[in-house]
Amino acid sequence: MNRNAQFEETFRRAREEIPVVSRKIFFNTGWSGPSPVRVLEEQKRVLDWLSSEGVSHHVYRHMRKSIETLRARLAGFLGADPSEIALTRSTTEAINIVLGGVEWHPDKKIVTTNIEHGAGLIPAYAVRDRYGVDLEIVDLADAHDPIRKLARAIDARTRLVVVSHVSFNTGLRLHIKELAALCARHGAELLVDGAQAVGVFRIDLHDTGCDYYSFPGHKWMLGPDATGALYVRKDRIPHLKLTFAGNESARKADRAGNVTYHTTAKKFEMCDFNAALIAGWIKALEFTEEYGADNIESAICANVGYLKRRLARTKGVKIITPREWERSAGLVAVETTGKSSRDVFSALLKKGIITRFTPPPSYLRISVNYFNTREELDTLVDALMQFCRA
């Protein structure tokens, strides 16, 4: 079997394992990716096993092994060391671990942008309100020269820069390696929200130079909901304070006030995890690796390019997301002349096409994945053309 035939066979099997694509045209992975059947079946298997086995020390040992397997697999997938990966229950929890763990003083500043998800903005607001630090919000709405704009805001007072690798709203992709170098020159640290990046294109966290990187399992990785992780660069682990603490944070502790915390990112984990979710995420990783991270990126890139070319010729549609792949990812945000994004979303949903509309400034957001077909992309564009003419 030649290479193209292998890709086609893997693509066919991938679609067969994702139930929603047989019923709907699904363009909303950026909210929650459709988990393959094997992920769902693995979660059911573990829940059945726990129900029949009964939880005690023997089951806990098994779960700890699964957690360490997932930690190692995520580290390998993202170019990090297992000791730098803390498992969380969401991207939001991971972001809070960092923002809450930094030593804040009123003379310090947070720099963020106006195209961030609430998972990054609202914790930053909470730190500002609690500690009296300054918060500078950089306008990146037009996507023009974002690093230069951020550079004007980052100075000697900046303690932490909080940005999305790929904006949930506009689809803009930032050059994280360049931004990390800029932060380092000013003595600032960089926290990245990778929710719309991980699982779309290859990421090497060591190469980026960022200090912290948060990401979920349930979006482009197609894993279960309520899963996430945090990368903490090795040299930052000793200095980041505990926002949350619990039994899992400590290597040993007693009832007399003595405690020794883990020296790895594991110290940021506080309590037990859901065994079914851990097992499901491992299966989702296997699914991704079966297709191949580079193949996924190539397929998403090709689909996104095709969609942007068609939308660019569609009257009444304005593409908000940068056209170049290097400045974007799997999200394509558009405006429709004279139509609200909510109304466009509703019209598409009636045709069995699932997208989403974003908070103000509201766009129709199309999440384009590798399992989408050209026929599905054509159906979407044709529906938009028909709606815009109405």
Domains, the chain, ordered by start: 3-30+292-389 (3.90.1150.10), 44-288 (3.40.640.10)
| Per-residue DSSP letter, 323 | S
* 129 CB burial (10 A radius; 0-12, 13-18, 19+): exposed
Cα–Cα distance between 238 and 240 in angstroms, integer? 6
Which pLDDT score is estimated for 5? Answer: 66
The count of C-alpha atoms lying within 13 angstroms of the C-alpha of 383, restricted to the half-sphere facing its C-beta, is 20
Helix, strand, coil percentages, rounded to 5, for the chain: 45, 15, 35
Structure tokens at 273: 């995890």
pLDDT in 10s for each residue of the chain, 390 residues = 455 666 677 788 889 999 999 999 999 999 999 999 999 999 999 999 999 988 888 888 888 999 999 999 999 999 999 999 999 999 999 999 999 999 999 999 999 999 999 999 999 999 999 999 999 999 999 989 999 999 999 999 999 999 999 999 999 999 999 999 999 999 999 999 999 999 999 999 999 999 999 999 999 999 999 999 999 999 999 999 999 999 999 999 999 999 999 999 999 999 989 999 999 999 999 999 988 899 899 999 999 999 999 999 999 999 999 999 999 999 999 999 889 999 999 999 999 999 999 999 899 999 999 999 999 999 999 999 999 887
Determine phi and psi for 122, rounding to 5 degrees.
-70, -40
Q: Going by DSSP bridges, is the β-strand pair 331-336/317-319 parallel, antiparallel, or unpaired?
A: antiparallel
As a residue count, the chain comes to 390
Closest alpha carbon to 180 in 194, 196, 192, 198: 192
Hey, which bits of 21-139 come out as E strands?
25-26, 85-88, 109-113, 134-138
Q: Give the DSSP H/E element, type plus range, for residue 264.
A: none
Nearest in space to 100 (alpha carbons), one of 128, 137, 136, 71: 128
pTM of this prediction exceeds 0.85: yes
Give the amino acid at 78: L
CB 95 within 8 A of CB 119: yes
Strands (E), the chain: 25-26, 85-88, 109-113, 134-138, 158-164, 189-193, 212-216, 228-232, 250-253, 259-261, 317-319, 331-336, 353-354, 356-357, 364-367
Burial (CB < 10 A; 0-12, 13-18, 19+), residue 76, is middle
Q: 159 near 132, Cβ under 8 Å? A: no
